[in-house]
Chain A
Amino acid sequence: MTNEDINVIAPTLATRRSPLYRRHLQYQARFTQVGDNVVVDSYCNETSINDEIDVAESMGLCDLSTLDRIGFKGINAPKWLDSEKFHVPVLANTAEKQVSQSLLIKLSAHEILVLSDLLFHSKDVKRLYQNAVENHQNYDQQVYTLPRNDSHCWLAVTGTNASKMFSKLCAVDLRSHKFAQGAVAQTSLAKTNAIIIRHDLNKTPCFYILSDISGLEFLWDCLLDAMSEFNGAPVGLSALQTLVSSK
């Protein structure tokens, strides 16, 4: 996507925007619409998109909080997702990319989280939500929907310096040889409870962070502060999409 193609809109006009939108405006963000939501496409007023991709490859932070996600809990949740053509990993604290491109995370034996993909190829989250509304009327099924769009924020920390930066905020060793692609840690990040998921964007290391949305501004500021020694900066969705698409 080039700057000319972006449909620039004001976040206040959208049905749903990130709680961080004032911070994004301070960084001169350009927003793009995704369904009823807006997401930061780029921060290109001062730099070119290629500079932003360079930042993402080194040390970037992206707010994905308006992208779709959903969770399920209950003894039969894995079985139900299996019937919905998802592959559920055997081990807890494991993430697995699905054929449809969405990301399924097994948080415990009976709790699962599904994240949409950055290129919006998958409609899994909307389909699951609709099917859950239709199918889970009976308590005996023991599958309970956990709407995650408004309970958890979703950030992406990208770049080769990411694990070094995390060592300042998190006790879990997130270096590549200890925390491989698909690994998940439910732990304390900057004194805040968070789910950290390793999901690289091709060759660029990437960590998704899901945490209580009420602490999003605190976490955003903490991460930017910790990133400053690595010249880290906010990046938009467009830079991440370019990294996903690159060969």
Chain B
Amino acid sequence: MKLLSCPLNGLRNISEFTYGGEYHPTPDHRTTSSRDWAEHVFFHDNTAGIVIEWWCHTPSSFWFLAERNTLTDEVVRTFTPDELYTKPTIQHEPKPETTP
């Protein structure tokens, strides 16, 4: 049984994980062309070498990223998405004042 190290739960059997596809930075939807969107959604690099991939630890529904060498199937490291994403700041329109 292959093993994979989850950043939250530690070393677990690979059967506890689900592959989530290659990691690509999300394009800016305001400036990206349709062609680039299609590229992002439908096409994969299929690199021979070290790639970054999404993985999910299914029992805890915890998504994380793994650096994996696709030639040797060696997992170099796993890490949380915090390294690549900053926490969004939620901004709302002020609520309209209501009269009693």
The interface of chain A, by Cβ under 8 A from chain B, is 75, 92-93, 107-108, 139-140, 142, 171-172, 185-188, 193-195
Q: Which residue of B lies closest to A111 (CB)?
A: B60
In whole angstroms, how far apart are the Cα atoms of A140 and B95 in the complex? 12
How many Å lie between the Cα of A193 and that of B15 in the bound state? 11
Contact B16–A188 (Cβ < 8 Å)? yes
- Of the candidates A107, A139, A188, A194, the one whose C-beta lies within 8 Å of that of B90 is A139
Q: Which of B59, B87, B90 contacts A186 (CB 8 A)?
A: B59
Mark the stretch among B5-13, B35-43, B70-78 that contacts chain A.
B5-13
CB neighbors of A among B51-96 (8 A): 57-60, 62, 87, 90, 92
B62 closest partner in A (C-beta)? A108
Question: Given contacts A186-B59, A188-B13, is CB(A93)–CB(B92) below 8 Å?
Answer: no
Q: Could you tell me the distance between the alpha carbons of A187 and B9 in the complex, rounded to whole angstroms?
A: 9
**Chain B interface residues (CB < 8 Å from chain A):** 8-9, 12-13, 15-16, 57-60, 62, 87, 90, 92
| Cα(A171)–Cα(B6), bound, Å | 15
Whether the pair B60, A107 counts as a contact (CB closer than 8 A) is yes
Which residues of B lie under 8 Å from residue A172 when comparing CB positions? 12
Residue of A nearest to B92 (CB): A140
Are A93 and B59 CB-contacts (below 8 A) given A75-B87, A171-B13? no
- In the complex, A139 Cα to B44 Cα: how many Å? 36
The reply to whether A188 and B92 form a contact with Cβ atoms under 8 Å apart is no
How far is B100's CA from A216's CA once the two chains are assembled, in angstroms? 50
State A171–B87 Cα separation when bound (angstroms): 34
- Which of A75, A140, A188 has a CB less than 8 Å from the CB of B59? A188
CA distance A75 to B87 in the complex (A): 10
A185 touches B9 (CB 8 A): yes
The reply to whether B16 and A93 form a contact with Cβ atoms under 8 Å apart is no
Question: B6's closest neighbor in chain A, by CB?
Answer: A186
Docked-complex contact A187 and B90, CB < 8 angstroms: no
Given the known interface contacts A93-B8, A93-B9, A139-B92, the answer about A186 and B15 at a Cβ–Cβ threshold of 8 Å is no
CB distance from B100 to the nearest CB of A (A): 18
